[in-house]
A and B are shown apart, each in its own frame.
Chain A
């Protein structure tokens, strides 16, 4: 069974810091991995999608990497801002979990203080 774990569970940093969020998974047979942002009480906003054949994706201050062999993905946030405060979820679409079904990680709650 695919298990997705995110470390740390919570993170508090001052504004301006660069930070890394980690996502690990147990089954490397995946179609893709996606990072989402969730604000309190809200739905999900897709940040970056990495296909199985790719190693990283970048969007603005965000960079996500994927290492299937080690079962890991990282989300790098440069020059963090208070507006980045949210919960970040990684989710993957696995070859053994059903097409288009997403398995979500446990999430990292980020607080960026001014």
Chain B
């Protein structure tokens, strides 16, 4: 079946630096990708919707200049957390659609720890 891959699975970075997370659809063309954030013991919250070749649409309260999303191809979307701070530490999960039946497939998630 369709697979969505995220990389890295976990990353530790210093406060003030930027970190990039990749989301790839491995066997289908993802016309739309979604980025979610999940704090410990909380549910997933949608951050932004990314369509190939266009600017991402951010949910209310999500800083577009801090969370840069690029969806330059039909198989890759990236989330860059700029000037990361400890409060950005979270589990980031992407999902992608565009495969058979327009099913939504989720990546395995990426743990970000900012120290």
Interface, chain A (partner B; CB < 8 A) = 36, 41-44, 46, 89, 91, 98, 100-107, 109
- Using a Cβ cutoff of 8 Å, how many contacts connect chains A and B? 45
Q: Could you tell me if B43 and A42 are in contact, using CB atoms closer than 8 angstroms?
A: no
Q: Could you tell me if B32 and A43 are in contact, using CB atoms closer than 8 angstroms?
A: no
Q: A41-B91, A44-B93, A98-B49 are in contact. Are A104 and B44 (CB under 8 A)?
A: yes
| Chain A residues positioned under 8 Å from B108 (CB to CB) | 42-43
Task: Tell me the chain B residues, 29-54 only, with Cβ under 8 Å from chain A.
Answer: 32, 34, 36, 41-46, 49
Stretch in B14-22, B76-84, B99-107 with 4+ CB within 8 Å of A: B99-107
A-B contact pairs, 18 of them (CB 8 A): A36-B106, A42-B108, A43-B6, A43-B106, A43-B107, A43-B109, A44-B44, A46-B106, A89-B44, A98-B49, A101-B34, A101-B46, A102-B34, A102-B44, A102-B46, A102-B104, A104-B44, A106-B43
For the complex, give the distance between the alpha carbons of A44 and B109 in Å. 9
Which residue of A89, A100, A107, A109 is within 8 Å of B32 (Cβ)? A100
Instruction: Select from chain B the residue with minimum beta-carbon distance to A44.
Output: B106
For the complex, give the distance between the alpha carbons of A42 and B93 in Å. 9
CB distance from B2 to the nearest CB of A (A): 11
| Chain A residues positioned under 8 Å from B41 (CB to CB) | 109
